[in-house]
Amino acid sequence: EVQLVESGGGLVQPGRSLKLSCAASGFTFSNYYMAWVRQAPKKGLEWVATISTSGSRTYYPDSVKGRFTISRDNAKSSLYLQMNSLKSEDTATYYCARHRAENGYFDYWGQGVMVTVSS
Amino acid sequence: DIQMTQSPASLSASLEEIVTITCQASQDIGNWLAWYQQKPGKSPQLLIYGATSLADGVPSRFSGSRSGTQYSLKISRLQVEDPGIYYCLQGYSAPLTFGSGTKLEIK
């Protein structure tokens, strides 16, 4: 059974940093692209970042480019999201997702972790 | 960026009724289209990928279709467990973009 379990969320002040983690199990982690998707309270879904199988390629929308960094540790079956210079508009539930890049969709999602950026 | 215009924003239908939700892509995305269902407090669940392929474990009353740059999700016979918010996703090019969502309720 595929499982994705996020951790590391919480309350953080604007301008500070936070690092999210996602522990994967039930599949060969190193064979899949992985991604982060977020959802602001009562809002829709927004793709945040994608990383290739080896970690050599990363992709971001303009809204987080230069502030967020996605990374992975295939030996630990873990995905990370380093978030710097956080803004109030980054407040959201962050989901880790397995990214089927060959067809451009996310097939499994974690339960999500809440990040609140507020002073 | 590719815009995904989803309609309707909300929908109320009776049990056993046929329901259709659409997404219009602002440019050609081929079959790089997926549909998700999200229930309150839960993560999104994949329903359809490749515009028309049913995800594992998804009931056959769900189906996807494509006509040019317009994509549709059809629920053939609405069931009590189907309410939620439905989203489309284009995975053709970065930034990947979702539709704004359709809130489906039982009448």
Angstroms from B91 CA to nearest CA on chain A: 4
**Interface mutation target, options B43, B53, B58, B86, chain A, most CBs of A under 10 Å:** B43
Q: Residue B98 pLDDT > 90, yes or no?
A: yes
Of the pLDDT bands very low, low, confident and very high (cuts 50, 70, 90), residue B4 is: very high
- Least CB-CB distance to B95: which of A47, A95, A107? A47
Which residues in chain A touch residue B52, judged by CB atoms under 8 angstroms apart? Answer: none
Residue A62 to residue B95, Cβ atoms within 8 A: yes
Per the structure block, which two tokens stand in for B6?
A: 């989803």
Average pLDDT of the residues of chain A: 97
Residues 6 or more apart in contact with residue A9 via CB below 8 angstroms: A18, A20, A94, A113, A114, A115
Query: Closest-CA residue in chain B for A111?
Result: B43
Residue range A35-88, pLDDT digits in tens: 999 999 999 999 999 999 999 999 999 999 999 999 999 999 999 999 999 999
The predicted structure's pLDDT at residue A102:
86
pLDDT over 90, % of chain B: 100
Distance CA B81, CA A30 (A): 35
- pLDDT of A103 reads 85
